Structure 1
Amino acid sequence: MYLSRFRMNAARPGTRRLLSSPQSLHAAVMSSFPHLLPTASTNPGTPSDGPRVLWRLDQNAAAEVFLYVVSPDRPDLTHLVEQAGWPAAAAADPDNPGWQTRPYAPFLDRLAQGTTWAFRLTANPVHHIRRKDDEPIKRTAHLTPVHQMAWLLERQERCGFRICEKPDSKRLLPSGTTHKKSAHHGDRYELMVRDQRNLSFAKPRDDNAPGRRPVTLVAVTFDGRLQITDSALLRRTLVQGLGKAKAYGCGLMTLAPAPDTGERNP
């Protein structure tokens, strides 16, 4: 497994085109792996229990946009440097091709139960509803931070981690929430929901019918602190992703040292 980071040049037209189309960026990411056939780069394919290509965009400022990629194989991002990076700078420095890639397995192997980490996750929080008894069940996005937070909390244990709770001294509300079993989590957890993005694009129809079908999804970014409860489950989450819409920049969780730990990310 490999973890790669590529800084996108926000001043280039190619960057703006990629940022405006998650489908185009998905195709560009998948084109980084020479062994994949063209059909694999344009079609997310079927779910797999093994490692897969995951990616995420982090926009820390208007001119600071990073693309993170987790993949079973080492990527070649030369085409992205040419479209959306600094190709002249990369050509002038053979030791710096324009992106950084490091083996991910040594870091994954160091993850131990009980350790605490800061994390970031971009995900597509959804649920299934039926408005009327005679209507089919429909997958629908969670639109409020309260429900988006609840979506992640419902999945934490099966994914090998537990979101840390704030100490009483840092809570704005008594006990951090209005009620112990309330759906409103108040400020009980060290968890923040930010950067909600409503994505809309068209993709080829799955049944090979003519035309394209519209796709809409909601992506949000979670920042917080977690404690590892099952290191094997968490490793699986980090390499397989969490939730839906993984082909379109959702599902990738990354870890960073928490202030009270001595661990280091690769």
Structure 2
Amino acid sequence: MTKLLGGLVVYLSRIQLNDAIGQNSQLGLLLKDRSYGIHRLLHDLFSGNERFLFREEIANEQMQTSRSTPLYYTLSKEEPKLDSVIFNVDTKPFTPKIDSGSKLLFRLRANPTISRLIDGKKKSVRHDVIMNAQREFLISECHTRGIQTDLTKGELLKALHRHKDYKGNDGANRLQDAMTAVIDEATKQWLIKRGQNYGFDIEPRQLQATGYRWNALPEKNRKAGFSSVDYEGVLTVTDSSLFLETIAQGLGPAKAFGCGLMLIKRAN
């Protein structure tokens, strides 16, 4: 057993659907792009109400194999069961020796959101960082040009396309490029600012934020879902205890759906 932060025992596991299920069964097909269902199946590897972090990847991107079956990493206080009929499980104690000042490479799939007060509501409401940045950009561009701003996002975009500054294909491309730059910066700043509160500093020039997608959760209801972004880059640990606690607890919302697990390794 590995003790991390005041006696917390954690295990890092690599988990794959067994070959028959992953490639040839209806179960393998049903699990494709279903984060909620995957979490429920992975939960069967643990007892009780064990909370764990997990991340889904593709086997042929991470291992020497031509298979494109899903590959899952989990971080848990409890060691997963090794006798699963569905999964092949490889687990080991998580024993990072990290000091303040350590430089690490990292990968993180996160659900970047912000809390914002809405007129008529007492409590703040969580908003997708990307969608929020897009809307604020469009409102700002419209306001600068004297265009009405109490419109939907689609209406704001159409109004700008009618303005002389953004008419035609060239204008539309310039508007899209400017909006993309604003969204990219907002997405990166979400992680940079959180790092400052959780024991690490991000190197902005080496930070990549890609793979934005909307993940539907039809198992919950027709409109349910969450966004995710894949971050990759270099960080410097500023507070080793706080950083390790962040690794163990996960970063950001949607942890039950495959977000929040930061994978790290030493930078050369």
TM-score, normalization by structure 1: 0.66
Q: What SS does structure 2 have at the residue aligned with 1:75?
A: coil
Instruction: Select between 56-65 and 68-77 the one with higher mean Cα deviation.
Output: 56-65
Partner of 2:77: 72
Structure 1 residues 139 and 234: alpha-carbon distance in aligned structure 2, compared to 1, 3 A threshold: same
Q: Which of 149, 152, 159 is the matching residue for 2:188? A: 149
Paired with 1:150 and 1:125, the residues of 2 have a C-alpha distance of 10
Q: Which 5+ residue runs of structure 1 have no aligned equivalent? A: 42-51, 86-97, 165-187, 205-211, 261-266
SS at match of 1:189: helix
Aligned partner of 2:120: which letter?
D
Out of 8, 25, 36, the residue aligned to residue 23 of structure 1 is 36
CA contact 2:216–2:224 (8 Å) conserved in 1: yes
Q: CA deviation at 1:2?
A: 0.3
Residue number in structure 1 paired with 2:142: none
Tell me by how many angstroms 1:228 deviates: 0.6
1:12/1:198 Cα in 2 relative to 1: closer, same or farther (>3 Å)?
farther
- CA distance, structure 2, for counterparts of residue 245 and residue 198 of structure 1: 12
Partner residue in 2 for 1:238: 247
Cα deviation, 1:93-134, whole Å, max 9, x if unaligned, reads xxxxx3310001x22xx1111111100111100012346x33
* Identical-pair percentage: 29
On the 8 A contact 1:119/1:256 being kept in 2, the answer is yes
For residues 46-57 of structure 1, what are the structure 2 equivalents within 5 Å?
A: 52-57=51-56
* Partner Cα separation in structure 2 for residue 75 and residue 6 of structure 1: 10
Alignment of 1:200 onto 2:199? no
Unaligned 5+ runs, structure 2: 1-9, 62-66, 131-182
- What residue in structure 1 maps to residue 169 of structure 2? none
TM-score (norm. length: structure 2) = 0.66
Q: Within the alignment, does 1:247 sit opposite 2:233 as a pair?
A: no
> Could you say which structure has the larger radius of gyration?
2
In structure 2, C-alpha distance between the alignment counterparts of 1:65 and 1:203, rounded to whole Å: 20
Partner of 2:68: 63
Aligned length: 196
Name the CA distance, whole Å, in 2 between partners of 1:63 and 1:121. Answer: 20
Measured at CA, do residues 77 and 221 of structure 1 come closer, stay the same or move farther in structure 2, by a change above 3 Å? farther
**Other-structure match for 2:226:** 217
Deviations 1:163-189 (A, max 9, x none): 12xxxxxxxxxxxxxxxxxxxxxxx42
Please say if 1:228 is aligned against 2:249: no
Name the Cα RMSD after superposition. Answer: 2.3
Contact 2:23 2:69 in 1 (8 A): no
CA contact (8 A) 1:203 1:214 kept: no
- Select which of 11, 36, 40 maps to 2:23: 11
* CA gap 1:12/1:159 in 2 versus in 1, 3 angstroms: farther
Take 2:112 and 2:196, find their aligned partners in 1: how far apart are those partners?
16
In the alignment, what sits opposite 1:160? 199
**Greater per-residue helix proportion:** 2
Which letter does structure 1 place at the counterpart of 2:250?
G
Partner secondary structure for residue 217 of structure 2: strand
